[in-house]
Amino acid sequence: MATSWTFETVVGVPVTGVDGDASSTSRANKWRVSLCGCCEYPLSCLSTFFCEACVIGQTASIAANGSRNICLATTAVLLFFGILGFSLQFVSSASVSTVGMVLSWIGGVIALFTICYARVAIRKRNNIDGTGFGDCCVSFWCSACSICQMLNQYSPYRGPFATYTILDEESGSASVTES
């Protein structure tokens, strides 16, 4: 069965109820899944655990209206800083080890900024109650749960590599075959 997936069909319409039921409006100004409900959808939880840089790229892409380039650039930058910084920390030279630590910190700051930006953009797009300060606090203190919450805001979450090639199709006629 073929289903048409475009940015507007997946992300453009906020989910108004717990199960996406339009008649349930009691949660219209709240996140679809609570912050601690990240394990309700195991795929997003596992994706965040095993490749956080990839899902940060996904949330940045969703915040930027489905741009594949934003996803790829964000993921590449975070992986570059993370891998290089981690690797350099184990070099026997003290100065190189310090450079590795600094690169890791820079990558962490970029990740935190990206998560906070995406959270604010998604919250505003869906008219979800909250403040920018609250979004920054959640992004800092529980970034993994925040990422899962943002990914689960849009149903269905299709995995760590499926979101972008479909969301940014300008024709709106991208389709996915479900098997």
Max avg pLDDT among 31-40, 96-105, 167-176: 96-105
Please indicate, yes or no, if residue 118 is contained in any of the structural domains.
yes
- How many structural domains is the chain composed of? 1
pLDDT in tens, 38-80: 777 788 888 888 888 988 988 888 888 777 788 889 999 999 9
| pLDDT, position 112 | 93
As a whole-number percent, the residues of the chain with pLDDT over 70 amount to: 70
pTM of the model: 0.72
Please indicate, yes or no, if residue 90 is contained in any of the structural domains.
yes
CA–CA gap between residue 59 and residue 71 (Å, rounded): 8
pLDDT in tens, 69-117: 888 899 999 999 999 988 888 887 888 888 888 898 999 999 999 999 9
Please indicate, yes or no, if residue 71 is contained in any of the structural domains.
yes
* Lowest mean per-residue pLDDT among 25-39, 101-115, 118-132, 150-164: 150-164
| pLDDT, position 114 | 94
Please indicate, yes or no, if residue 83 is contained in any of the structural domains.
yes
Please indicate, yes or no, if residue 67 is contained in any of the structural domains.
yes
Domain that includes residue 104, residue range: 51-167
Please indicate, yes or no, if residue 15 is contained in any of the structural domains.
no
